[in-house]
Chains A and B, each alone.
Chain A
Amino acid sequence: MNIHEYQAKQLLKEYGISVPEGGVAATPEEALQAAGSLGSGKYVVKAQAHTGGRGKAGGVKVAATPTEAAEFAKQMIGMTLVTHQTGPSGKIVRKVWIEKATDIARELYLAVVLDRTAQKLAVIVSPMGGMDIEAVAASNPELIFRTHVAPGQKLWPFQAQKLLCGCGLNAEQMKAGESIIRNLLRLAWEKEASLVEINPLAVTGAGDLIALDAKMNFDDSALPRQAAIAAMEDREQTDELELEAQKHGLNYVRLEGNVGTMVNGAGLAMATMDVIKMAGAEPANFMDVGGGASAERIAKGFEIILSDKNVNAILFNVFGGILRCDNLATGVVEAAKKVKRQVPMIIRLEGTNVAEGRAILEKSGLNFEMASSMKEAAEKIAKVAAAKG
């Protein structure tokens, strides 16, 4: 789960890491008030949406007065921010964060991330803050410093010093940096984050270290015991259909194509999308209905797939295994009857009682064709999709 910058900054503050003074606003009036309470100086108005690259998309502006800040807030609130990370549908902006502008001398990068390769938490530091860390990794890999911390292990002072020594900090700043790293590690561990990133961590003109932007991602599996984090969820930042699917225990991701897919198991669901593409058609979605999909769940899945108006055919690929194909077939038939919009279906069933399953489908009068293998299923669906244009 992702959270907004203003929520991340609130967490950083709780963990003793300095962030600029600021406030969150959902209306221009609140923005005026928030800026006004910050005293004189310049203000930075930042659109709150779950994406990077907000600056380039018009989601970050510097105001000279509270009135101007309110003006920018008015422009941003309600806008859909489209960045290189959001895809064409963008992310809706409901709130802005307004903070006092910081006098920036230099920008550093600091993150604690779950390192899958090392199977440990990694601390990553770079003097090249303010830019995409992947771009730094490509252009200046020697300027990225990294160390691993196993659970229960502390970060030793020498490790922190080694991480920070390329950042051109004086003795006092080194100490401050070490404390920030330690606090960030504690935050990541206690709140069960898979990523906490401060980018940039600014060195101010006065020599202080302060977090100017933050991005955090939390382990979904830990949310049931992380109530405070779970409460930060902004459901509006997730696609409507994806939310609906989540509610019913379905894994669904919307894509751009026109061939809907319904599959049991995540790996097989991905591989099914891939074979559709290789057969010359475009998948409209990823959908994993899970192992023990009931008739109701399958019905809901159908409804969700068909809510995407681009879908003009569906490939149903189920490797029943210990699930019985006759049960699955009953589910499909019931589901298709409930959903009004009919599109051609290619159905590939494999597993226990496959003959009974086929018989149920054949009696149903549905507009479908059976396929006996993945290859055949992909070829058939591509033909159907092409015919539909």
Chain B
Amino acid sequence: MSILVNKKTKIVVQGITGREGMFHTEKMLEYGTNIVAGVTPGKAGQTFMNVPVFNNVFDAVRETGAEVSIIFVPARFAADAACEASEAGIRLVVVIAEHIPVTDMLLVKNFLKDRGTLMIGPNCPGIITPEECKLGIMPGYIHKKGSIGIISRSGTLTYEAVHQLTGVGLGQSTCIGIGGDPIGGMNFIDLLKLFAEDDETEAVCLIGEIGGDAEEQAAQYIKDHFRKPVFGFIAGITAPPGKRMGHAGAIISGSKGKASDKIDAMERAGMTVIRNLGDFGAIVAKTLRG
């Protein structure tokens, strides 16, 4: 088991013939991801690494039964692509692009909600179920199949955490980058609910950062409902207020969004908080193995 995607999941890549699309499709295929279709308007009939290309998602779904989409089109086309996937009946869209306007994302969220489509991202590395399905831009080789679920707002920070976990022999069930934008698809709580139901996942790591209150909300949810061990990490203890730290959503506004508040909330919820990223793998291993 795993959540959201596994080796059988049929995937369509939107923007498969673009530079990013080609590069990452190759990496995903190498990993063993079940990519059944690609979409680029005007390129129907072509193939890329033996994957058939269609003009639109509707054709791709009809011909191949694709059920999950990953979008590699540039930011200004990404919102449209996500809505197209949803209208075509895709169950889950993964949006990698950064710099999609917030107003577009608000509209996309409503559009997808009306059609029951789930979304991961934008501005995220994607999802990986190790040794089964790599649906994103993360390096596959650092992952190992196992029982730790990971939900994170950051890309390379997650790679670091995963690398350390794998290093101490702890594999992962599914790792999800939910993205660094203020408005996004599935959040910590949505994914915790899925991990709660997943027998293979024994513990979960929440990797957050300054800005917003998603971590505080998640901590409250964990305290009230979630019964598996949860580890928390927050980046940005040294971040100054009022400054955007790379991610659009990583900003302390007034007294809101501070790392210390998030850490306090996590500790109050009974989570094991890892303060120093250098200790990540060691602390998780020690806690779980006693």
Contact = CB atoms under 8 A, between A and B. Distances in A.
Interface in A354-381: 373-376, 378
Contact of A119 (B183, B238, B246): B183
Main DSSP-derived SS at the A contact region: mixed
Nearest to B279: A375
Interface stretch (B51-59, B136-144, B195-203, B264-272): B136-144
B139 A351 contact: yes
B254 A134 contact: yes
A375 B102 contact: no
Most buried by A among B100, B138, B246: B246
Given A151-B107, A222-B103, A266 B154 contact: yes
Most buried by B among A321, A322, A373, A376: A321
Interface string B162-182: 010000000000000000101
A265 B156 contact: yes
Q: How big is chain B's contact interface, by range? A: 35 or more
Nearest to B277: A271
Interface in B230-270: 233, 235-240, 242-250, 254-256
B209 A270 contact: yes
A134 B255 contact: yes
B235 A322 contact: no
A210 interface: no
A221 B152 contact: no
B276 A225 contact: no
Nearest to A274: B237
B9 interface: no
Interface residues of A, number: 57
Given A151-B110, A268-B156, A351-B139, A274 B277 contact: yes
Contact of B100 (A121, A221, A320, A352): A221
B152 A151 contact: no
A150 B109 CA distance: 10
A236 interface: no
Given A134-B255, A373-B278, A286 B239 contact: yes
A225 B104 CA distance: 12
A151 B142 CA distance: 41
A278 B159 CA distance: 21
Contacts of A312: none
A77 B210 CA distance: 36
A279 B249 CA distance: 27
A350 B278 CA distance: 14
A34 to B, nearest CB: 30
A114 B182 contact: yes
Given A116-B212, A373-B278, A273 B156 contact: no
A277 B103 CA distance: 37
Contact of A267 (B27, B103, B247): B247
A222 to B, nearest CB: 4
Contacts of A243: none
Contacts of B248: 219-221
Contacts of B43: none
A377 to B, nearest CB: 8
Nearest to A277: B238
Contacts, number: 175
A143 to B, nearest CB: 17
Interface string B1-21: 000000000000000000000
B155 A267 contact: yes
Nearest to A194: B102
Contacts of B213: 116-117
A107 interface: no
A269 interface: yes
A271 B102 contact: no
Nearest to B239: A270
Contacts of B245: 251, 253, 266, 269-270, 286, 288
A85 B217 CA distance: 27
A275 B278 contact: yes
B246 A251 contact: yes
A271 B157 CA distance: 8
B154 A114 contact: no
B185 to A, nearest CB: 10
Contacts of B246: 251, 265-267, 269-270, 286, 288
B5 to A, nearest CB: 19
Given A151-B110, A268-B154, A269-B245, A321 B277 contact: no
Nearest to A191: B103
B99 A221 contact: yes
A319 to B, nearest CB: 5
B238 A273 contact: yes
B244 to A, nearest CB: 8
A339 interface: no
List the 6 closest A-B pairs by CB distance, nearest first: A267-B154, A266-B246, A265-B156, A375-B278, A267-B157, A321-B139
Given A267-B153, A321-B139, A378-B278, 12 more contacts: A221-B248, A222-B102, A225-B101, A253-B239, A253-B240, A265-B159, A267-B158, A267-B209, A270-B210, A271-B157, A274-B236, A283-B238
19 contacts: A87-B240, A152-B107, A192-B101, A221-B99, A221-B101, A253-B245, A263-B156, A266-B180, A266-B247, A267-B155, A272-B277, A274-B236, A274-B237, A274-B277, A288-B246, A321-B156, A322-B139, A350-B160, A352-B139
